[in-house]
Structures are given as C-alpha cells and as structure tokens.
Amino acid sequence: MSAHAVHPLPDPALAGIRHRLAQQFALHRNGAPFWTAFQDMQQELTRDHPRDHVRLCNAMADMAEDLGAVTHAQRIDGNTGCTPR
C-alpha cells in the first residue's frame, strides 16, 4: 500500500471551470455577480454535456463549497432529476 494519496484524473468537462469560478469568487465573493457567472458556467457545461448534467452540476456545487461561497450546497438527486426540498 502506497503512502501517497490517490488523486482522480482531471475531468476534461470541468477543465478551466474551477479556475474561472475562483476568479469570479475573488472579484465578487458570494454576491449576485458570482452567482450569475456560476449559472452561466453551469449552463455552458450542461449544454456541452447534456447526458452528464447531474455529475457536473454536483461537481460545481462542490466547487462553490470549496471556495466558501456556501456552507452546504444543494445537490441534484440523480434519481429524480431535481434537488429535494
């Protein structure tokens, strides 16, 4: 067993999104312009990868949490296609 952590391979669908999101967060924190940019990037991803929208949207939710934009982001439930309320 190796002592090195296993890092997942970068996801080509998300290439650049984390960086772009971090730039927007640095500029706007969690204000409306950040969320507008977030939604624009999310629409771009789902348009380009419609069959993988649940995983990609949830990955972006993880990014928002990692940046500190939200404490606990909502995730899409892959079984229902929407986030439970």
Domain range for residue 35? 13-67
How does pLDDT run across 40-49, given as a tens digit for each residue?
Answer: 999 999 999 9
Q: Is residue 40 part of a domain?
A: yes
Indicate the number of domains in the chain: 1
Q: Is residue 28 part of a domain?
A: yes
Q: Is residue 74 part of a domain?
A: no
Mean pLDDT score of the chain: 87
Q: What integer is the mean pLDDT of 30-40?
A: 97
Cα separation, 31 vs 4, whole angstroms: 38
- What pTM value is reported for the model? 0.80
Q: Are 75 and 61 spatial neighbours (Cβ–Cβ below 8 Å)?
A: yes
What does the chain look like in DSSP terms, one character per residue? --SSPP-PPPPGGGTTHHHHHHHHHHHHTTSHHHHHHHHHHHHHHHHH-GGGHHHHHHHHHHHHHHHTS-SS----BTTTTB---
